[in-house]
Chain A
């Protein structure tokens, strides 16, 4: 009972980056428990995926060929059966939207605790210490639990595994009960097309919750006009219907890498940061000096955006 079983993540024919990060996190845990790292590759072109994910540090790969795309009922059944077969200490999954669609169910079916969205892990004997955030990233906590567990890891926290591995790839004969599959994926849709591609902009003037009211967006538009820049936003602005979805930067929106990203009234939740941390230069305008955005900003103005933004617009008029 010292092995680690990590479940790879893929969508529409591609392994997601989180799969390679899982190998790193899983290898580290297995080293600490003194066990092997097993990978599960479920649905889709499993042999192709298995070949790609066969990186250094992987001990065994188990493929379950069933259907093309992710289905949580198939995943839940396949993983619980693999668990029964392999008896690992930890089941590791990505904390992706799909990871959260099966990991809690797997834990429940197996009678195991589930710890989600971990950013650091350490195993010592029977005890797992999991680091995670609370209150939108304002604090970190360490949490301990004894015995087996299902753990989801935050994306982009561990580096991707590299090198070529020599793990044996074996087809696992999962017994999928079709009557217990109660959801059907009928397709996918890309959202957020339309008039503007924020991914193409050299300068993004990006606005968040700090703008307070829809009519205040005018000062952001004025600044963007003066700078010949493009307006983008964090999630709450789009949720409120103040800007269309194609303007949203972040995990569920668009990943952008402009020359300059001006974050105005954006606190910098992890989902937002995931979409803009690759920007060349990041400037944050925010009254809160402790806002997480300050951790990745290159330049910051700790002042009221309603004073700074009009002053900046004036600079360029």
Chain B
């Protein structure tokens, strides 16, 4: 079985930040492997270690700057990586679900995986839709918000649990090939070993442009236009206790006694 894992370097934002136009000012931004994708990579690597998967390939849409982040997945055990970037993607402040779907479809057609694992959502724009959109586009079956995947496959089907709201899990059989969007907590993502990190430097990281993939540049034109970004207005009427830890703890202690819930 061949597994394709979509990975994304996401922007992280410091506690204090400023907005410039429709973006957060650069100096307040960091970068990290998307948390959900980390679980998807781990699941794929575990399937490989279990002898179920023969090859684990990662794919990302991102500029050269994100290669260090992408190599984290290689360091954890993925075999090789594909990175899609194009001059026409430079400066696009929002790549919508349709645009991502079109680009990833071209990669899926080239790689022909049996299983595609994506994170449930990206920590920055949180659309949570690309995996299912991709599945519908390429004619794969799919399952959203998977928090358990049986590593023994019953013929051509994956046996999964989908995490519904309110502590209920749905037990579902999904025919392969399929796209599964992976929820946090499905496994315990490993830390890359030093050996893994060294090996990752030598693993293949193939860069493809839209033209290489046969994707028309018009694909990146989002139908959705980001028009404004602002800090949500706080509706809070919170009482803030100030002072030393002893003083604030005493205030809280008094509240608990007032409420009659302290022992």
Contact = CB atoms under 8 A, between A and B. Distances in A.
B223 to A, nearest CB: 4
Given A298-B238, A301-B252, A312-B253, A117 B169 contact: no
Given A145-B225, A183-B141, A312-B249, A190 B168 contact: yes
Interface in A275-296: 280-281, 283-284, 288, 290-291, 294-296
Given A72-B142, A114-B129, A191-B167, A186 B259 contact: no
A188 B164 CA distance: 10
Given A134-B229, A141-B226, A76 B136 contact: yes
Interface string A41-62: 0000000000000000000000
Interface residues of B, number: 85
A105 B173 CA distance: 18
A130 B167 CA distance: 30
A228 interface: yes
Interface residues on A, range: 35 or more
Contacts of B153: none
Contacts of B3: none
A105 B15 CA distance: 35
Contact of B17 (A138, A146, A227, A314): A138
Given A101-B145, A133-B126, A135-B24, A316 B253 contact: yes
A191 B147 CA distance: 12
Instruction: Determine the main DSSP class of A at the interface with B.
Output: mixed
B174 interface: yes
A115 B130 CA distance: 11
Nearest to A109: B136
B172 A135 contact: no
Interface in A174-193: 182-192
B171 A185 contact: yes
A201 B224 CA distance: 45
A88 interface: no
A284 B225 CA distance: 36
Contact of B165 (A105, A252, A290, A303): A252
A56 B236 CA distance: 32
A144 B224 contact: yes
A129 to B, nearest CB: 8
B170 A141 contact: no
B142 to A, nearest CB: 7
Q: Which 4 A-B pairs have the closest CB atoms?
A: A239-B185, A311-B249, A307-B245, A105-B136
21 contacts: A100-B132, A104-B136, A107-B133, A113-B98, A114-B97, A114-B98, A115-B224, A136-B123, A142-B227, A142-B228, A143-B224, A183-B174, A227-B263, A251-B165, A251-B166, A252-B167, A297-B236, A300-B240, A300-B241, A301-B248, A316-B262
